[in-house]
Structures are given as structure tokens and as C-alpha cells.
Structure 1
Amino acid sequence: MRPLFTPRHLGTALCALLLAGLSGLAAAQTTFDVIGPHEYDLPIDFKPFNVFVQYAYVQRNNRLFDGSGDRAKGPGSTAIVGLSKYVHFWTPESNRNIGLAWEVIVPEISVRGHHPASQSSGIGDPMTGFAIWYKPTPDATVGFQSFVQIPAGDQDVSDTNWKNLSSLFWDVRLTEQWGWTADAGFVFQDDKNDGTKPGTVFHTNQRLGYRVSPLLEPFLALDYERGKRTSTVDGGHALDGGLGLMLHTFDNQSITLRYAKSIRGENHAANNSFNLKYAYVW
């Protein structure tokens, strides 16, 4: 019988909160598109543990979607983004059938322009928040997560406004090899310092993985978001597809690789990125 939970799953847990607003300069990817296989394959009734995750991606901003949904020339810059995250997991003594987590995330951002040459870099707006979940069946997890992004980053890369990222998430182990993990939620935000009022953003992220061996798990990725139109910002949307590979290297470590590219969109940056995530559990 397959174990309901192993330490290697911990390294993929709750990596869903990067790109909803690291920076207006850098955020070409859709909200929460960092998730991978087993992202929400979480335990209940466990001893407290900790996770450190270092995430990085390289994004080429060479294309965007205009108001007609056509691809147009983008700014041509290259964004290099890192995310350092600490998470503490525990089960409350009052109810051992649920799990809890609290995390702190610090982004590092560098955006390089090529024609003309320019560079903006620094520490992005930090985020912190919680997650709560339970298991309706031994092979399924359902939960809720909510995070606050604080406009305290360096001037060159801060979005300058507060955000709340809240979503439902779920994971279903379909068979011994197949697994489906996903989320759906909203990003609520207030006005920026320049008077711009961004609209509420809806997003969903879907991952379908197949464990071909104890080490290798390739997966398919599908990400979608739609932003509401406001008096100062046009509404937009984007649909991204991706291919990835999760390496279950050790019981307490994992590495996930993924390439993502936008399929269609409107009034939105086009995703064209290589993504890497390293997770360590203790």
C-alpha cells in the first residue's frame, strides 16, 4: 500500500505564492504558477517540521499580448528572480485531523534591459501568511491559504501596494503513479503610489504528474489568470502551458524543473520562462 505521506513531499508543499506581485517589472508569469506535483499532497497528525525553498526563474520579456489578443513586441528585457522561503508546519493538539503552516517569503529581483541597456534590482515586496487543510479521504487533500504582500521592497522593484492572495487548493492521488494538484483563488490589492488602481485577479493552476520511477516525475502544467478592468487599468488574461520534471533526489530534498510559455492572452505579458526550485526539509 502506498504511504499517505513521506518526507520528500514536504519539500514541494505550499510553494504557491510567488508571482502575483513580486514586481510590476518582473511578473510575467501567472499567479501561483510555481506549484508542481505533490504541491498540496500534505499530511495530518504529524510532528512539527520546517521547510526552506529556494526558487529561481529566468523570464524573457520579448513578447506581450495586446488588446486584440495578438502577440506584439515586448520590452525585450530579461528578468532574473529568486525567492527564498521559510515554512513551519504543525498540527494543533486540539484537532490532529487538520494541518497548519505559516511562511515568510523574501523575493530577489533583477530586470535587465538590453536596448537601451538598463538594470533594476533589489529585494522585492515580502509576503507572509498561513495555510490550513484536511484530508477527506486518505488519497485527497483540501485546504485554504491566504497571504499578505507588504509594499516594503526596494524602490526599483516594489509594486508599492498591499495585496491579499487567497485561494482554495486540493490534491488527489488518482493512482499509484498519477496525481493531480491544483488551486483556484483571487488576488485583492489596493492603489499603487502612482494612483493606478489594479483590478482583482482570478487565477487557477493545474498540475498532472506521472511518477515513472522513484526518482523521476514528469508533469504537465496549465495556468490561467484574468484581471478585472478598473478606471485606470484595462482588464486582461493569459493562459500558459508548461512541461516539467520533478526529481525526488532524497527523502528530505527535491528539485523541480519547468519550462512555461503563454498560449494565448489579452492585455497581458507573455510568459517565456525557465523555472527551478530546490526544497530542503528538516
Structure 2
Amino acid sequence: MSIRAWGCAATLFAPVLGAGLLFPAMAQASGIPYASNRPQSFQFSSDFTEPYNSVGQEFEYNDDRKRFDDHGNKVAGSNTETYVGLTSLLHYWKMDGLPNTGFIASITLPEIAVRGNGTRVSGLGDPLVGGLVWYNPTPLRTIGAQAYVQLPTGADSVSSDTYALWPSLFYNEWLGKVNIDLLVGAILRGDGPHHTEPGDTGHANLRLGYNIVDRPTYQVTPFLSADYQKTFGSDDRNNNAIEFSESNETALGAGVLFQLKPGVQKVFAQKMWDQVSIHYSKGVEGRNTTVTDGLFVQLWHYW
């Protein structure tokens, strides 16, 4: 199988920004970073000559009716609904003297809204700026690293008011018709508002896709998802542990990825395989966090 989407960076900035992360006064964190990943998210090819770009729009919805309590039981939650949009612009390039290697610089702006149960807040969230480097040991395998800085410049109602660094490592490989996509990373947070110390987060995101349709002009890949996050406890301004601030969650899901061959959308000057994906994920185990019950959609175009 040939590599289809040379720059499939559809999930560089896809945390589910639940209410706990949006409002620092709340002890509970919610949402698994990169929950909207799809197969081939980190499949890249260094087989190109000129720099190119991509633009992406992601839509994330989570039903916040349930949460995991401190004992791991599902109990009544905030009874709100969280909506997140992620608008991303990426630039791809190579450097002479570094074979089989490529780079991406990117910026993402979140659009956030929380509705229900007397809550009605919305605004532009904290942007993420950074990039990644990848290496192709073989044409069907990609390994690499990425890092992004989250800047607390969003609207007051949805900003975390906290600087954060998002480092991670990724791996992608085709085994026949099966695509394996794996990301392991962390969110390292600086001082929070009112001299608090928010806990750091570790996460892992796995996608297994199976290519059931491989036509000259399009491709269809159903997939399974597995996500995990662990957030360590936060401290208040007096260095006392904030109760119930330590959390974790495991979520499982399924979806489908559609890809369209370059040249089909001539009016848009399409350069790479464009992608559309949709999938659903549900929290199956956790503690002190809103239960993931979300729908994720991604649209990506390359030129």
C-alpha cells in the first residue's frame, strides 16, 4: 500500500476541553488530551520537494451529564454540554542534509462553549503554538516528537490562566491493511491563577484502523480508539493539596475515516489526500472527572 496522506496532522491539538479544565476554580479536571485522534494522524512522508500547508477544522461535543466520583462510580455530573472547535494552520517543510525527515510549524485556536443547567459561557480559548519533527525509517513507518506551548490569552470565561507545555512522542505504521497510530505525552502546567499549582497530566492515545476500501480516488478506513489520561493533584496557594483534584479516565470508541485523492477537488487546488473523520468515544473507567461521552469530527485540506 502506498502512503496516502503525507501530512495527516489532524490531531495535533485535540484535547476535549471540558468544564473542569476551563474553570480553574473547579477541582476536577475533565477531558482526555488528543481524544479526537484518528488513524494516520501521525503518518507523514518525507517524499516531497516543495513546502506545503494544511488547514483543519475540528468539532468536538461532550455530554457532561455524568462524572466519575472519587471511588470510580458514575454519578450525576454538571448536566451541561461542552462544544469545542479547533481551527489549525500547519506548514510543512524539509531541510537539506536530513534525509527521510520533515518538520511542521503550527498554530491552533480553540472556540469553546458550555451550555445547560444555568451555565452559558463561550469564547476563544487559549491558543497553542509549536510544531513537530518526524522521521521515516521505512516508507510505511513514521516516528517523531512534537511540542506545543499553550498561551493563556483566551477569553476570561474559558481561559485556563495557565501557561502549559505539551510534549509527546508518536509512532505510525502500516501492517498490510492495518494502520497503527500511537501517541504518548504530557501536559506540564505552570503556576495557575491565585498562586495555585495545577497538576500535570500524562496521556496515551491509540488508534487501530483497517482499510476496507482502497480506490484510485477515495479510501475508507473504520477504526477503534483507546484513550487514557492521568492528572496529578493540584495544590492551593498555601501548598495544601486540593481535594479531589487528582483524576484519571479510560475511554473507548469507534469511527470511520474518509480520504479523497488529490485532483478530485481541482477547484480547491488540493495537493494531498484530504480527510474527513467522525467517531464516538465513551469513558469506561475513571476517577474525579467528567465522563467522556463525545462525538468528534475532523475536516482537513492540503495545498
Instruction: Bin the TM-score by the shorter chain.
Output: over 0.9
From 263, 285, 289, give the equivalent of 1:268: 289
**8 Å contact from structure 1 (residues 20, 187) kept in 2:** no
Structure 1 residues not aligned, in runs of 5+: none
1:249 aligns with 2:260: yes
What does residue 181 of structure 1 align with?
181
**8 Å contact from structure 2 (residues 10, 298) kept in 1:** no
State the Cα deviation string for residues 27-55 of structure 1 (Å, max 9, x = none).
Answer: 74301122111111101142211010000
Distance in 1 (alpha carbons) for counterparts of 2:13 and 2:62: 17
**8 Å contact from structure 2 (residues 17, 31) kept in 1:** no
**8 Å contact from structure 2 (residues 88, 107) kept in 1:** yes
What does residue 35 of structure 1 align with?
37
Q: Tell me which stretches of 4 or more aligned residues in structure 1 moved more than 6 Å.
A: none
State the Cα deviation string for residues 74-101 of structure 1 (Å, max 9, x = none).
Answer: 1011111100000001111231321100
Q: Percent identity?
A: 27
Deviation at 1:222, TM superposition (A): 0.1
2:194 is paired with a residue whose SS is: coil
**8 Å contact from structure 1 (residues 16, 33) kept in 2:** no
Deviation at 1:70, TM superposition (A): 0.7
What does residue 58 of structure 1 align with?
61
State the Cα deviation string for residues 236-273 of structure 1 (Å, max 9, x = none).
Answer: 10000011100113433211000011010011111001
2:184 is paired with a residue whose SS is: strand
What does residue 266 of structure 2 align with?
none
Distance in 2 (alpha carbons) for counterparts of 1:216 and 1:45: 23
TM-score (norm 1): 0.92
**8 Å contact from structure 1 (residues 52, 85) kept in 2:** yes
**8 Å contact from structure 2 (residues 223, 255) kept in 1:** yes
Deviation at 1:178, TM superposition (A): 0.5
1:82-97 equivalent positions in 2, closer than 5 A: 82-97=85-100
1:194 is paired with a residue whose SS is: helix
State the Cα deviation string for residues 128-174 of structure 1 (Å, max 9, x = none).
Answer: 11100101222211100000000000000001100000000000111
1:167-206 equivalent positions in 2, closer than 5 A: 167-175=168-176, 177-206=177-206
State the Cα deviation string for residues 4-46 of structure 1 (Å, max 9, x = none).
Answer: x33x443x32523221768624974301122111111101142
Distance in 1 (alpha carbons) for counterparts of 2:174 and 2:193: 45
TM-score (norm 2): 0.86
What does residue 239 of structure 1 align with?
250
Distance in 2 (alpha carbons) for counterparts of 1:21 and 1:276: 15
Structure 2 residues not aligned, in runs of 5+: 24-28, 236-240, 263-272
What does residue 77 of structure 1 align with?
80
Distance in 2 (alpha carbons) for counterparts of 1:188 and 1:149: 10
Structure with higher strand content: 1
**8 Å contact from structure 2 (residues 13, 86) kept in 1:** no
1:218-233 equivalent positions in 2, closer than 5 A: 218-231=222-235, 232-233=241-242
The number of aligned residues is 275
From 90, 98, 101, give the equivalent of 2:101: 98
**8 Å contact from structure 2 (residues 88, 106) kept in 1:** yes
Deviation at 1:277, TM superposition (A): 0.4
Distance in 1 (alpha carbons) for counterparts of 2:260 and 2:296: 17
State the Cα deviation string for residues 170-194 of structure 1 (Å, max 9, x = none).
Answer: 001111x111001101110012213
